[in-house]
Amino acid sequence: MLEPLEILVAVAFMSVGATVQASTGLGAALIAGPALIAIDPSYLPGPTIVATLILTTRHLLMDGRHADRATVTRAYLGVPIGLALGLTILAVADETAMRTVIGSVIVVAAALLLLGVQLERSARSDVVGGGAYALSLIAAGIPGPAAAVAFNDLPPSNYRGTIGFLGVPVGVASVALLAVAGEYGAHELRLTVWLLPGIAIGLLAGRHVRPFVDTAWFRPAVLWLALIGGAVVVLREVL
């Protein structure tokens, strides 16, 4: 059972993360993940997957018309492999290892994006991007960095729409598979409920933040916040 202060911290961090994701297309788990892991390791991946699913549903409904349908179709081809690999990782890794891996993934991904790493997109990279999205979602609950690297050339509205079409079915499949595997049960459901106020705040705030998405400072600020948070998670586990 979470303490009141822990609930407030979870809601606060999810509010920030959800605001960023509602406006940019990624960021909820990337920003909130380090704090949520510190509160309860069970927050990742299941509850954060549900949070991401709710937010990507917003993108599907509001920005779906801007989606790059060809990219989505190719990305779907990599999803089954990514989901299978993710379930395998969950089955063999312990909690300490998972927290360390998740934190490391956040740090590396944020650093790569801050350094401006970009991939030349092709049909093959779209397939790999879809697999990476599914793998990072079901195994770590943090799909944003994989998608940001794979689909980095898409304008904001196209990116949000594309992620909506990709993220909703992958999110539903991930939650279902985790439930069958015993990784998403009553405890994880209770943790998810405490995230809902933060998600709602983020959805409301996102409409006001969205006009500033393309400003020069916004994206680096988000990535630096994620990098620092991920580093804190890793240091907590190794020191």
Distance between terminal CA atoms of the chain? Answer: 27
Instruction: Find the DSSP H helices in 94-155.
Output: 95-114, 123-140, 144-150
pLDDT band of 113, cuts 50, 70, 90: confident
Q: For the residues 138-158, what does the mean pLDDT come to?
A: 81
Report pLDDT for 74: 97
Q: For the residues 213-238, what does the mean pLDDT come to?
A: 73
pLDDT band of 36, cuts 50, 70, 90: very high
Q: Which one is predicted more confidently, 156 or 122?
A: 122
Domain range summary for the chain, segments of one domain joined by +: 4-238
Report pLDDT for 42: 92
Report pLDDT for 150: 82
- Weakest-pLDDT range from 7-16, 29-38, 53-62, 183-192: 29-38
Q: Which of 42, 43, 33, 38 is nearest to 13 (CA)?
A: 33
Task: Measure the CA dihedral 29/46/76/108, to 10°.
Answer: 40
Report pLDDT for 164: 96
Report pLDDT for 100: 79
CA 219 – CA 114 distance, rounded (Å)? 9
Q: Would the pLDDT of 120 be above 80?
A: no
Name the amino acid, one letter, at 42: S
Report pLDDT for 110: 76
Report pLDDT for 168: 97
Q: Would the pLDDT of 144 be above 70?
A: yes
Q: For the residues 82-93, what does the mean pLDDT come to?
A: 90
Report pLDDT for 203: 96
Q: Which of 187, 144, 182 is nearest to 49 (CA)?
A: 144
